[in-house]
């Protein structure tokens, strides 16, 4: 973003999550991690690409981690370059910013994710659960195939270890595995499972996913103030 302070980030480690998704574990040059809230993102700059204004990447780590992690799906020129980075490589990025997080304290949090849109929710879930939250946390997570699910092992463990976390996977382009739901997420069935009372809804994924879910929730008379959105892609 024009005028944003820029920092140099160092790649400390790179973890392959799925066939085309990698997590980069980062610090600043002095080995520290900047302050951020789960749900925020950094803007990464590669001035010699077609996008000198940079691209946004949400933190998938939680603020108390030793590294700041971003988890990137390799799709186009920019994300391929980022995914290909190795330990010791550096790049320029903004400090964390953004407003994609719950502003209330005692609500249930209902997180609706599609594909790589899971990244801010991994940060939120780990942070809230580690902090011993009493809030009820729901994650509905949609992917084309089972192999596309990012952080599956970790999410399964979090849901298994915490009575206040409910999770449901949706699979849209193949037959779902046991315990998963076949087909797209629908606001109606989510509403039935969580009820509308005392809940905030956070939506993250492609523009069309976020738009469809937002419309569905509004049709259920969920107030706009209780729906937070982060649209990653224009598709």
Ligand X SMILES: Cc1cc2nc3c(=O)[nH]c(=O)nc-3n(C[C@H](O)[C@H](O)[C@H](O)COP(=O)(O)OP(=O)(O)OC[C@H]3O[C@@H](n4cnc5c(N)ncnc54)[C@H](O)[C@@H]3O)c2cc1C
Q: Which residues contact ligand X (rule: CB under 6 A)?
A: 41, 55-58, 70-73, 75-79, 115-116, 119, 230, 232-235
Measured from the CB of residue 45, what is the shortest distance to ligand X in angstroms? 12
* Residue number with CB closer to ligand X (63 or 196): 63
* Exposure class string for 71-100: b at 16+ Cβ within 10 A, else e: bbbbeeebbebbbebeeeeebebbebebeb
* Residue number with CB closer to ligand X (11 or 116): 116
Measure the CA–CA gap between 141 and 149, rounded to whole angstroms. Answer: 8
- Residue tagged 């900047």 (tokens): 34
Measured from the CB of residue 58, what is the shortest distance to ligand X in angstroms? 4
CA of residue 234 relative to chain centroid, distance? 16
Measure the CA–CA gap between 17 and 7, rounded to whole angstroms. Answer: 26
Measured from the CB of residue 60, what is the shortest distance to ligand X in angstroms? 6
Residue 134, SS3?
coil
Measured from the CB of residue 195, what is the shortest distance to ligand X in angstroms? 29
* Residue number with CB closer to ligand X (79 or 133): 79
* Residue number with CB closer to ligand X (11 or 194): 11
């Amino acid at each position: 973003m024009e005028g944003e302070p820029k920092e140099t980030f160092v790649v400390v480690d790179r973890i392959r999550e799925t066939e085309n998704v990698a997590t980069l574990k980062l610090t600043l040059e002095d080995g520290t991690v900047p302050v951020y809230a789960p749900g925020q993102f950094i803007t990464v700059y590669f001035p010699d690409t077609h996008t000198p204004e940079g691209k946004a990447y949400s933190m998938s780590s939680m603020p108390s981690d030793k590294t700041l992690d971003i988890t990137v799906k390799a799709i186009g020129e920019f994300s391929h370059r980022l995914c290909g980075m190795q330990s010791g490589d550096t790049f320029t990025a903004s400090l964390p910013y953004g407003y994609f997080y719950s502003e209330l304290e005692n609500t249930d949090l209902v997180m609706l994710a599609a594909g790589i849109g899971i990244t801010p929710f991994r940060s939120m879930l780990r942070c809230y659960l580690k902090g011993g939250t009493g809030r009820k946390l729901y994650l509905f997570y949609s992917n084309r195939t089972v192999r596309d699910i990012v952080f599956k092992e970790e999410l399964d463990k979090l849901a298994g270890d915490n009575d206040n976390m409910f999770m449901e996977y949706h699979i849209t382009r193949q037959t779902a595995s046991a315990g998963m739901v076949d087909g797209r997420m629908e606001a109606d069935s989510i509403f039935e499972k969580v009820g509308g009372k005392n809940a905030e809804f956070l939506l993250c994924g492609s523009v069309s996913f976020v738009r469809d879910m937002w419309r569905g929730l509004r049709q259920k008379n969920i107030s706009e103030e209780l729906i937070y959105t982060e649209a990653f892609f224009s598709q």
